[in-house]
Amino acid sequence: MSLTALESNLFESIEFCLALLGTIPVPIVLVKPDNSAWRLNTAKLDGNYQILRCSHDKNNSETWFLDPSAKNCPLCQAVAHARLSGTKELRKGVWKTIIDGAPREFIIAVHAVPTLIKDENFVLVAIEDLTEVEQLKGLLPICMECNKIYSKGNDKWVRIDQYISEHSPAKFSHGICPECANSILKELK
């Protein structure tokens, strides 16, 4: 299936391309050869902010710079690897950022695609926020009545101490809390 002349001409229009990018629900950034970043759409990770940057970027201007030597930054590492390898890079990790002057952390997936524009190497980047998904993956289903935990491995509900013993090196010493001790004493009298 080939594009008609009209369809092909649409992609030559900067207004059309920016409008198309505006429909994407994740932040899209174009990283220039000098590692400065230019936001291409208005999608936000969380909240209503004007300035977004990596926490290691100490530049106080409104321009956001990425640092290829920032080893703990999944965004900077994805861009650096995509630029060096010339291939698409997908990275996931904890991204420490500054939003309107306040430090924040997100768990992100970074899609970095190198592209050549007028003989210069740019990287097109999509930043996907996985924070809520990762937090939900870490939740343990616990019964509101008996406090048993659902164990996927056994496909059954087990006592908390049994679950922890099966999933960690922790050991238990059993005792009685003061409230239960008083309750037992009342029952015995």
pLDDT reported for residue 88:
96
Higher per-residue confidence, 94 vs 161: 94
Considering the domain architecture, whether residues 69 and 119 belong to the same structural domain is answered as: yes
Considering the domain architecture, whether residues 56 and 80 belong to the same structural domain is answered as: yes
Listed in sequence order, the residues at least 6 apart from 101 whose beta carbon sits closer than 8 Å to its beta carbon are 51
Rounded alpha-carbon distances, angstroms, from residue 127 to 152, 160, 163, 167: 31, 38, 36, 33
pLDDT reported for residue 110:
92
* Global confidence as pTM: 0.64
Which domain, by its residues, includes 169?
140-188
Compute the mean pLDDT over every residue in the chain, rounded to the nearest whole number: 81
Considering the domain architecture, whether residues 28 and 90 belong to the same structural domain is answered as: yes
pLDDT reported for residue 177:
86
- CATH number, domain with residue 77: 3.30.450.20
Residue 124 φ/ψ, nearest 5 degrees: -90, 130
Across 61-89, average pLDDT: 86
For 147-187, what is each residue's pLDDT tens digit?
Answer: 888 877 778 898 888 888 877 777 777 788 888 888 888 88
Higher per-residue confidence, 5 vs 188: 188
Considering the domain architecture, whether residues 64 and 9 belong to the same structural domain is answered as: yes
Residue 28 has pLDDT above 80, yes or no: yes
Look at 1-10, 44-53, 58-67 and tell me which has the smallest mean pLDDT: 44-53
Listed in sequence order, the residues at least 6 apart from 130 whose beta carbon sits closer than 8 Å to its beta carbon are 92, 106, 107, 108, 109
DSSP state of 180: H
Q: Which of 95, 112, 135 is the last residue of a domain?
A: 135
pLDDT reported for residue 1:
52
Listed in sequence order, the residues at least 6 apart from 93 whose beta carbon sits closer than 8 Å to its beta carbon are 74, 107, 108
Across 51-66, average pLDDT: 70
Tell me the sheet residues that pair with 150. 157
| DSSP conformation letters of 63-96 | -EE--TT-TT-HHHHHHHHHHHHSS-EEEEEEEE
Higher per-residue confidence, 172 vs 108: 108
Listed in sequence order, the residues at least 6 apart from 89 whose beta carbon sits closer than 8 Å to its beta carbon are 78, 79, 81, 82, 110, 111, 112, 113
Q: Give the total number of structural domains in the chain.
A: 2
Percent of residues, the chain, with pLDDT higher than 90: 17
CA angle 148, 152, 155 (to 5 degrees): 80
Hey, what are 18's tokens? 């920016």
Look at 1-15, 61-75, 107-121, 142-156 and tell me which has the smallest mean pLDDT: 1-15
Look at 88-97, 115-124, 156-165 and tell me which has the smallest mean pLDDT: 156-165
What is the dihedral angle through the alpha carbons of 146, 149, 150, 155, rounded to the nearest 10 degrees? -90
